[in-house]
Amino acid sequence: MKKVTAFVLALLLALALCPVSVLAMEVDVAPPSDVAPPFDDIQDQPNRDAILWCYEKGYLKGTGGGHFSPEGEVTRAMAAAVLFRDAGAVEGPMPFKDVPLNAWYSAPVWWAASHGWINGTGEGLFSPDRVVARQDFALMLRRMACCDGVDTDVSFAADGEDVASYARDAAAWAYRQGILRLDGEKRLRPQDPVTRSELASMIKAFYGEAETQFDLDPDQITSLTIRTTDGRDNVNATPEQIRWIADWLNQFPVLEKAEIINPDITCDYYMDFVTTNPENQRIRVIPCNDQSLYMEDFDQKVFYYGRPLTGLIRYLDQCFEDVPFVDPEPVQLLDVKPEDVDAITIREFTTGAQAEITAPEDIAKAAQTLSQVEGCPCKELILPECWDYIFEISSQKEELDGTFLRLCRGADIVLGQNGLASAAYSPSGDTDAALWELAEQTLHPIPDKVDKLFDIDPKQVEKLEIRSGGGELVTIAGQSEIAKLARALNRFGYVEENAGHDAVGYQYYIDFTSGSQELNGLRVTVISKDCLLVSRPDQDETVTEYLSPGYAAGLLELLDQYFQPLPDKGTPPEA
C-alpha cells in the first residue's frame, strides 16, 4: 500500500502555508525522519506528534526563524493548497475574480473549485484570505473523500447546536473519522478558526490511515474504456476524464479488504485502463453499490471497502449523459416442457427455506412461468454470489437435469446447470414478475381471507426516503433496491384495520417520491413486525393502522441492512 503523498504536494503545501518573506529560507524537500525539526514553539502543543508527522511527510513546513506558528490561522487559499493534487497550471478560465492567475494559490484554488471540494463565497468571489472555520474544513474533507453523509446527529458535542445546518453531516462524519475532536468540555467548536496546529492534526487523521491501492500516473495511461451493463455503448475517456478519474482513484481510502467477492455486489460501470507502466499494464476497476471498489489487475482480485463512491459514480454518470441507450433484443431463457420435469425445487437464500413442487398441475404452472422469462444478456457482469430465490429442475433428461435459474435482487437473473453459473441476464420488462410471485407464494403463502395491503409497481417509484427511529436518513434511488422493498411491502397482508394498537414510537418510516399520483407522498411507518401505519396522499394526512402478525418481519430485515453501523474506529481522543 502506498500513502497518497507526492513531492509536488509537499512543495506546493510548503509554498501555500509559508509567508512569502521566508520562502527562500525553506528547503525544497522534507528532511529525513531522524533530523530534528527546527521548531522551538511546539514543545507544549497537544498536537506535537501530528505536526512532526506532517513535517516528516512533507505536508507542512515552518514559518521561518525556527517557528511553526501553531496558533496561526488557516485561510481558504491555504486550505485549497492542502487539498491540491495536481502540479499543472490552471487549465481553464478562473471562476473567481479575486484570484489572480499569477497568485501562488491560483492552481490549487482552480483545482479545488473544479472538483467541488471548495465553493466560492458568492458574487464570483473566492475570498482567499478569509479564515477557515473547523466545520468548513471538515466539509471540504468530506467532499474530497466523496462521501455523501446521511448522519447529521451532532448530539455527541455539547455545542452541537452551533454546527451550521449545511455542515452537520460533515461534522458528524469528521468526528467518526477522528478528524474533528472534542475539547476538554466536550465542545466541537465548529465555527472557531482552524489553527496550523489543528490543521496538522486533521491532515494526519485524514491521510495517515487512508491507504490506497492506486498509484496511477495519468501521463502513463494510454487508454481508458468505460463500459456499462445497461446497454449503452462504450466511452473512450478523454485526457481530461482520464486525469480526473485517475486522481480520484489515487485518493480512494482503503478501510478494509476481503479476499472474496462481496455477496451483495451490483455494478453499473467497468473501467479498463491500459498503461505504459510495466508493473500494471492492464487494470480493471469496478465501482459497486456506491460503497465499495473492486480492482482486478489480472493477478489478484480484491474488494476495497471505503466511504461511499457517490462522487465517482456521479462523474461516470456525466460521462454517459449523451451516450444513447441500445435496446438489445431479449431472449427466452428456458423452454421447459412439463412432461420432462420430475420436480422443481425452490430455495430462499436468506432463510434457507425450501419447497419442492411435485404435483403435475403445479409442475405445469411452474414450467410455464419459467419458460416465459425473457432477458437481455449482460455485456459483462460479475456473477452475484448471493440470490433471493433459486429454481432447480430435476429431470430424467440429462440436458435438463440440474438446470437452475437464480433471481438476484430484482436486477439480475443467473442461468446455469449442476451448480455452475453459465450466463447472466437483465430481466426484460415484467417477464420475471410471475416467477417472483410463485417463489414468494410457495415459500411464504399469505393465509386465506387476508387482504393484500399494497400493489406497488417499483418502476413507478423514483426514490424512497427511509428514516430510522434514531433520526438517520437513507435515500434509495436504485431500481433493484426499490424493487426489493416494493416486493416486501406487496407481500404484507392485513387482518385488522384501525385496531387501536398502542403504536408508541416507530422503527422506520418510508416516504415515496413517484410520478404516480397514488404513490407520490405515500408514507409507510413500520411500528413492528406486526404493525404498519399508512398515510396515503389522497386521504388528507389520515393515518390508517394495519395489523398482520409477522408480515413485516421481512421488511424490517431489509430496512435494518440500510442502517448497519459504520466500522468502529473507536472514540477519538480529546484534544
Give the mean model confidence (pLDDT) for residues 59-79.
88
- Nearest-angstrom CA–CA distance, 562 and 90: 41
- Nearest-angstrom CA–CA distance, 118 and 110: 9
By the 10 Å C-beta count (0-12 exposed, 13-18 middle, 19+ buried), 274 is classed as middle
- Nearest-angstrom CA–CA distance, 244 and 318: 13
- The answer to whether residues 526 and 559 touch, using CB atoms and an 8 Å cutoff, is yes
When the pLDDT of each residue in the chain is averaged and rounded to a whole number, the result is 77
Confidence of residue 404 (pLDDT cuts 50, 70, 90): very high
Grid cell at residue 536: 396515503
- The answer to whether residues 195 and 70 touch, using CB atoms and an 8 Å cutoff, is yes
User: pLDDT value at position 104?
Assistant: 87
Whether residue 15 is predicted with pLDDT greater than 60 in this model: the reply is: no
Helix (H) or strand (E) holding 532, with range, is strand 531-535
Whether residue 2 is predicted with pLDDT greater than 50 in this model: the reply is: no
* Higher local confidence (pLDDT), 57 or 7: 57
The region of weakest confidence among 174-178, 266-270, 407-411, 561-565 is 561-565
Nearest to 210 by CA among 572, 571, 575, 569: 569
Q: Which residue has the cell 486533521?
A: 202
Q: Which CATH class is domain 218-319?
A: alpha beta
Domain ranges of the chain: 7-207, 218-319, 331-443, 451-562
pLDDT digits (tens, 9 = 90+) for 193-210: 999 999 998 888 887 655
Give the mean model confidence (pLDDT) for residues 350-360.
88
Q: Indicate the DSSP class of residue 325.
A: B
CA 343 remoteness from chain centre: 42
User: pLDDT value at position 499?
Assistant: 65
Grid cell at residue 120: 466560492
Confidence of residue 340 (pLDDT cuts 50, 70, 90): very high
Whether residue 369 is predicted with pLDDT greater than 50 in this model: the reply is: yes
pLDDT digits (tens, 9 = 90+) for 445-473: 776 667 788 889 888 999 999 988 877 88
User: pLDDT value at position 146?
Assistant: 58
* Higher local confidence (pLDDT), 215 or 77: 77
CATH number of 331-443: 3.30.1490.410
Whether residue 118 is predicted with pLDDT greater than 80 in this model: the reply is: yes
Confidence of residue 372 (pLDDT cuts 50, 70, 90): very high
**Which of 411-420, 498-507, 515-524 has the highest mean predicted lDDT (pLDDT)?**
515-524
- Nearest-angstrom CA–CA distance, 523 and 508: 10
Give the mean model confidence (pLDDT) for residues 289-300.
60
The beta strands (E) that lie in 306-411 are given as 331-332, 343-348, 354-357, 374-377, 389-394, 403-408
The residues, ordered by sequence, that sit 6+ positions from 108 with a Cβ below 8 Å of its Cβ are 12, 16, 77, 80, 81, 83, 84
Which residues partner with 426 through β-bridges? 376
Give the mean model confidence (pLDDT) for residues 72-89.
78
The residues, ordered by sequence, that sit 6+ positions from 305 with a Cβ below 8 Å of its Cβ are 254, 255, 256, 257, 258, 291, 292, 293
Q: What is the pTM assigned to this prediction?
A: 0.42
Domain 451-562 sits in CATH 3.40.605.10: no
* Higher local confidence (pLDDT), 3 or 519: 519
Nearest to 416 by CA among 333, 340, 358: 333
- Nearest-angstrom CA–CA distance, 327 and 232: 9
- The answer to whether residues 290 and 264 touch, using CB atoms and an 8 Å cutoff, is no
User: pLDDT value at position 17?
Assistant: 41
- Nearest-angstrom CA–CA distance, 108 and 96: 13
pLDDT digits (tens, 9 = 90+) for 131-158: 999 999 999 888 877 555 556 788 888 8
pLDDT digits (tens, 9 = 90+) for 223-271: 998 887 666 667 888 998 898 888 878 766 555 454 444 444 567 788 8
Kindly list the distances between the CA atom of residue 366 and the CA atoms of 283, 295, 334, 437, in Å, as whole numbers in the listed order: 43, 40, 12, 11
Helix (H) or strand (E) holding 312, with range, is helix 310-319
Whether residue 165 is predicted with pLDDT greater than 80 in this model: the reply is: yes
The beta strands (E) that lie in 335-434 are given as 343-348, 354-357, 374-377, 389-394, 403-408, 412-417, 420-427
User: pLDDT value at position 125?
Assistant: 92
Helix 76-83 with 106-115: angle, nearest 10 deg: 70
- The answer to whether residues 46 and 575 touch, using CB atoms and an 8 Å cutoff, is yes
Nearest to 463 by CA among 513, 502, 403, 397: 513
User: pLDDT value at position 88?
Assistant: 57
Domains 218-319 and 331-443 fall in the same CATH topology = yes
